[in-house]
Amino acid sequence: MVFNSYTFIVFFAVMLLLHYLPLSWKTKKINLLLGSYVFYAAWNPPFILLLWLSTVIDFFVGRKLYYEENKMRKKLLLVVSLIGNLGMLCFFKYGEFILENFVSIVNMFGMDYHPADPGIILPAGISFYTFTTLCYTIDMYKKESAPVKSLLDFSLFVTFFPHLVAGPIVRPPQLVPQFEKPKMATRKQFFDGLLLLSLGLFMKVVIADSLLANTADTVFNAPMPLNALDSWAGVLAFSGQIFMDFAGYSTCAIGVAMCLGFSLPQNFNNPYASIGFSDFWKRWHITLSAWLRDYLYIPLGGNRKGKVRMYIALMLTMLLGGLWHGASWTFVFWGALHGLYLWIEKALSERRKAKGLAPVKKTGFVGFSLAVLTFLLVCITWVFFRADSFGKAGMLLLSMVGTFGDQGFKLLSTIAILKVAIVIPCILVFQWMMRNRQVTQEAHSMSWWKLGMAWSFLVLMIVWAQESGSAFIYFQF
């Protein structure tokens, strides 16, 4: 089930009705849990067993980890949890990838080995709920928070339908306490939640799917070299599409949870207004960035054990972050590029400090110019994220710099290029203007008739573009 479907509208209306009926809080939580399972079962019902198994194992192992005093047993329990979670993730998400690479290596040594296709189906959102349960057991091992008392609360924490399939990646202290006492949205929360849901659907259905998706697909699926204008139009279109698609989902998720009285963490904060790549990763997929920082970068040494160790930890974190997104070397290379960008940025920053130079200006024309430069460099990384092979990525990059000249094919219509030429600058300018502001705060500062007109426009455009809607890109991760 996806947010941009009529089925979800009916489902959400039923969940709201059940949530606001005069029932006991425990009954309402059971309704939310059962509803979350129904929401997930809409993709593939048998995979609910995986979700349930992961939930039950981590609940009891986490409790045991917290109270266990024997260090050897404690480490053994942590290993059991890690094997259970990461083993399941590796099998379903990376099984075919590992097998393909193994076959390639074996064939390099002259062995003619061609196994049958394992036909592994990737469960929706497995990367997200695996990281959600992993952070719980790791926190229990470190005793950084108290164990969840109720299996019902823990199950709801893992499977709460707004964040289940594509985040935000939540941690127990962020959500579990909200299940302990009855929760109902205030009038303001409900209003803000519906507004965010409308905005998220507009970002996904209208901008990502209707205005940008076809252009990106045409360019990235082209089997031949293109001219520079078409190449750049396709890459810029995908840059806008991936943001509007994923941030649109997160905005919907936060809005849906808010309508029920719950708060989910912010996942995007105008990332295309970032000045530099450290800033970008503080604004893009915030909950994943924080997870990788706390559970990978810092345990690897972070910036506490010298520059060399810091640079190694940084690159390893970005490589694994790339691999988290998909079972392909192109994703790993995407992560490596971001790691390289962060290396260069840190080196330049240290050099400026050594020379006693003032920090880079982050306001006005200079700041905006740096944000545009950051965006364009990020666009180059999106080529490897979207292309299904290094060959296609390389051909597209060569096309972008005009290598093929008159031999580059022209596939895009003038209208398609104009859409990109209008939409992408509007996204950049809007995000720059909203760089340190929140949509809901701006909405409350508007007069009622201006907000009403803007909201009506969003809804009308969503209805108009609904047939072009498709599944969210990050469902595959």
d(CA 381, CA 288): 18
Contact 85, 134 (CB under 8 A): yes
- Residue 99's H or E segment, with its range, is helix 71-108
Phi-psi region of 44 (alpha: psi -120 to 50; beta: other; left: phi over 0): beta
d(CA 146, CA 149): 9
Mapping DSSP to helix (H, G, I), strand (E, B) and coil, where does residue 409 land? strand
d(CA 397, CA 383): 8
Query: Would you call 19 a catalytic residue per the annotation?
Result: no
d(CA 291, CA 273): 22
**How far is residue 370 CA from its own chain's centroid?**
24
- How many CB atoms sit inside 10 A of residue 173's CB? 11
DSSP 8-state symbol, 246: H
Dihedral sign, Cα of residue 60, residue 65, residue 70, residue 76:
positive
- Of 126, 125, 129, 160, nearest to 38 by C-alpha is 160
- Of 66, 59, 79, nearest to 143 by C-alpha is 66
Catalytic one of 19, 163, 285, 325: 325
Q: What is the radius of gyration, based on Cα positions, of the chain?
A: 23
DSSP 8-state symbol, 143: T
Active site residues per annotation:
325
